Structure 1
Amino acid sequence: MFRRRSALLVRPALDDDALHTTLTELRPTPQLHGLGAGRTRPLWQPVADLLRDTGRDWDRRWHRMSVLAGELPPAVCERWTAERPGDGDALVLRACVRSARAASEGWAAVREAERACLRAADACPEDPTPWLALLDVMYALAAPVRDAVPVWTEAVNRAPWHRGAYHRLLRHLSPRGPGTVTAMTDFASHAAARAPHGSPLALLPVAARVELVAHRNLRGRTGLGADAHWNESRAGEETEAALAGWFRTAATPHAEAVVDLNLLAFALVRTHRPNEAAPVFRRIGRHMTTHPWELLPAPERTFLYWRDRQEV
């Protein structure tokens, strides 16, 4: 008998159903003429409700803010800040939106994004999110690492061991950005070694290895050269540390756990440990992420092959 494969859910919200519902609610339908037509409450109210419910969960707040910044119709944020100019959530979201779009809109937009981030930081002094938004601007401009580190420090001073902060700096340290292989791998290993047991930062060395492979692929160094990265003994040690230090612990799932699970499953497949990948794929379920599977041919087919292979 043929077994029916469940459809994959590849979406920015990951497994955050509340975020996905908010985004769906704000998409104009063919029956409405223009965004907000036919509504009886402010256009931005679903976003305000979502962020209010998020509270001081800085990890999830960053995930939701960054996804909203990339997916919301621009009118939502602009209308919210116009109607509630002193609202801290509105100002932080505006900073994230401006940061996400600044690099493609010119130097004036970059300066405005910087001002929006600093204004949001003043309005919400305990929130690391505005500083991470500012770090996004700096990455888009390929700002030197020495300039990015103080901004990152502002974020982690407010939320030590913040997953998003560490991954943002890892990206900045990457050779695909303004960093180097040595800086990236050293940062990843040192941060993972210092992180509390059960922290998803145990996966930083795995993320750094994936980033290195992506860098080599970008430079056209694929094939056996890419496989060699996964055949090193250190690759197996990094993957085992991620399993023991995060996956097999009783840690509470974090906002971007789906991303980390995909990274871990990918590393287990590439280091030839399919049996240990099985429970990771079971936890992933339908929530595939584009990265890192895009580094392999036919990403969805490859993901499904390995996921469904575990269920035979």
Structure 2
Amino acid sequence: MAFLSSRRRRTRLAPQLDDQELGRLLRSLRTTTRTGTIATTDLCAAQITRLLGQDPADWDRRTHRIDVLAGFLTGSHLPRSWAAREPRSADALVLHAWTRVAEARAQGRPEDASEATDLCLRAAETAPDDPTPWVVLLAVARLQRWARSQAFGVWNEVLARDRWNREAHLVMLGYLGPEEGGSRIQVLEFVDTLRARMPANAPCAGVELTAQVLQYHAVLGRGGFEALVARNHWSHAMAAQALDRVAHTWPQPGFLRHARALADLNLLAHALMAAADRRREAAPVFEVLGGVVTPWPWSTGGDALTEYDQAQRRATVGL
């Protein structure tokens, strides 16, 4: 991963994180997608194809880039138009499927993601080695609460192609969570199994900490006395150990190299600030982040940029 300079910079939401080429493409798309012409579709499709074709076997970065593009193009005519014009393009099919999932999730209408299933299967047939159609299909399974046998069937297809796919692991974490019909026990079993097998710097290394942050937020969300003492969550053995395992390794230059390393570092900074006695450990994490902010988990407390800025100031008081 190309870490940003430790020099403090203006805080900003940057979905591309430190992927500068993806950032340039987003700026270009912001300008060119306004016209809505056939020529614009062709131009944008060519730009996206060029970017996604740079490292065709880097599934981690491909997943990140398509996910960001899908979020950016949600509500745009482009993904549908491109898929219609190039029905054998795996890039076009997967991007269209991912935007349909994003739209269905945002609108709370899981049935609207049904079209994505066909798109994913067509993309998988076109590009059999590519895990991203299966990652999107797993998101459909989560959104529509497919039966466990079906969901795990898709899950196994992802793992066969990209063993440590970050997005797929987070989707499964959500599918198994108590908020979506699973249970806390299922989450613990999933995390324990993963931790026993994965490298410490795998792209999905943040799953365990994500599970702990989700549980912490669930306690906060209950309100009342439980919310007042929610910080005690981080003194419990499992939560404290999850932080211990990553607090001093993740910020080291070159340790995390996956496409969404900065997102995991945002998660770490947030968790360290939530644990009252570990705030000073957050200071070097903020230095590495260089002001690049992810909406989650900061937005759970209010405006993400405001929450990040306030946390960074608290972490560096007296240093």
TM range (shorter): 0.7 to 0.9
In the alignment, the residues of structure 2 paired with residue 142 and residue 225 of structure 1 have an alpha-carbon distance, to the nearest angstrom, of 33
Match of 1:259 among 263, 268, 279: 263
Percent identity over the alignment is: 34
Gap runs ≥5 in structure 1: none
> Aligned pair in 2 of structure 1 residues 106, 170: CA closer, same or farther (>3 Å)?
closer
**1:186-197 to 2 correspondence within 5 Å?**
186-197=189-200
What's the CA shift for 1:211?
A: 1.1
Q: Distance in 2 between matches of 1:285 and 1:250?
A: 15
Query: How many residue pairs were aligned?
Result: 307
The equivalent of 1:280 in structure 2 is 285
The answer to whether the 8 A contact 1:98-1:116 is kept is no
- Which deviates further from its counterpart, 249-258 or 263-272? 249-258
Classify the secondary structure of the residue corresponding to 1:176.
Answer: helix
1:55-66 maps to which residues of 2 (within 5 A)?
55-66=56-67
Q: Which residue of 1 aligns with 2:99?
A: 97
**1:78 and 2:77 aligned:** no
Q: Following TM superposition, by how much is the alpha carbon of 1:154 offset from its aligned partner in structure 2, in angstroms?
A: 0.8
Q: Is 2:119 the partner of 1:116?
A: yes
Distance in 2 between the 1:247 and 1:150 partners?
Answer: 35
Paired residues of 1:135 and 1:151 also in contact (CA < 8 A): yes
Which structure has more relative contact order (CA 8 Å, sep 6+)? It is 2
Partners of 1:66 and 1:249 lie apart in 2 by 25
Range 75-84 or range 171-180, more displaced: 75-84
- 1:8-45 CA-to-partner distances (Å, cap 9, x unmatched) read 1113222222222212212247xx97234986963322
- The amino acid that maps onto 1:284 is L
1:50 is matched with 51
196-205 or 276-285: bigger deviation: 196-205
1:224-279 residue CA offsets vs partner (Å, 9 max, x unmatched)? 34222112133221111123564448435211111100111112222221232222
Residue 3 of structure 2: aligned partner:
none
2:154 is equivalent to residue 151 of structure 1: yes
Q: Alpha carbons of 1:183 and 1:44: their partners in 2 closer, same or farther (altered >3 Å)?
A: same
SS at match of 2:87: coil
Worse overlay, 208-217 or 60-69: 208-217
- Counterparts of 1:300 and 1:92 in 2: how far apart (Å)? 31
Deviations 1:178-198 (A, max 9, x none): 211111122113212211132
Question: 1:43 corresponds to which letter in structure 2?
Answer: C
1:292 paired to 2:297: yes
- 105 and 86 in structure 1: CA distance in 2 versus 1, 3 angstrom threshold: farther
Tell me if 1:306 matches 2:311.
Answer: yes
Tell me the distance in 2 between the aligned counterparts of 1:99 and 1:41: 23
